[in-house]
Amino acid sequence: MKKILILFLVFSTLLSCGSRKVQKSNTTEEKKETTETHIVDTSKTITNTNVQIKVIDTSTTSDIEIIPIDITKPFTYDGKTLNNAILRIKKHKNNISMVTDKNTSEIKKNDIIVNSKEKKDTMIEIKKKDIDKKESLLSYWWILILIVIGYITYRKFII
């Protein structure tokens, strides 16, 4: 029994666990962006209208005036025979010109205002876990010890 206890202590000292290192890191990155756009469009439209109206009246009028003077003397006009009359023919020429000017101005003012706001929130979370595991070279010695013990028992009991 003493030999088994000694062998157990030798095995426990020769067999060791490997070391294990764990590095865990959490990184959180948060971005907030705000974009504001303000557009003002002011435009004027000016319309000028000129209208000129000319009215020209060139009419002629004729006035015929027959005044009787003496009834005994005959007088013919346009195939009509009149006795003792004075004929007065007046021709009037009318030159009437009317000029009408019409000026109109129109001003249209257009104001367009556009406001836009944009918000962006981004959150990036990075989780990183690094495991560094080193095994001990002594952990493989148990195979060699088993071979030695097997050889000793083989020689002791079988031979």
* 35: nearest Cα among 116, 132, 147: 116
Residue 4 lies in a domain: no
Residue 5 lies in a domain: no
Task: Provide the 3-class DSSP secondary structure of residue 79.
Answer: coil
- Domain residues for the domain of 83 are 10-158
Residue 1 lies in a domain: no
Task: Provide the 3-class DSSP secondary structure of residue 16.
Answer: coil
Residue 52 lies in a domain: yes
Q: What share of the chain is helix, strand, coil (3-state, %, to 5)?
A: 20, 70, 10
Residue 17 lies in a domain: yes
- 9-27 pLDDT per residue, tens: 666 666 556 667 888 888 8
pLDDT score, position 159: 65
Task: Provide the 3-class DSSP secondary structure of residue 69.
Answer: coil
Averaged pLDDT, 89-96? 80
Contact status, residue 97 vs residue 58, Cβ threshold 8 Å: no
Confidence of residue 60 (pLDDT cuts 50, 70, 90): confident
Residue 57 lies in a domain: yes
- 123-137 pLDDT per residue, tens: 888 888 888 877 666
| Residue bearing tokens 């015929």 | 64
Task: Indicate the number of domains in the chain.
Answer: 1
Residue 153 lies in a domain: yes
Model pTM?
A: 0.30
Residue 47 lies in a domain: yes
Q: Please name the residues in contact with 156: beta carbons below 8 A apart, sequence gap of 6 or more.
A: none
pLDDT score, position 136: 65
Tokens of 137: 């070279």
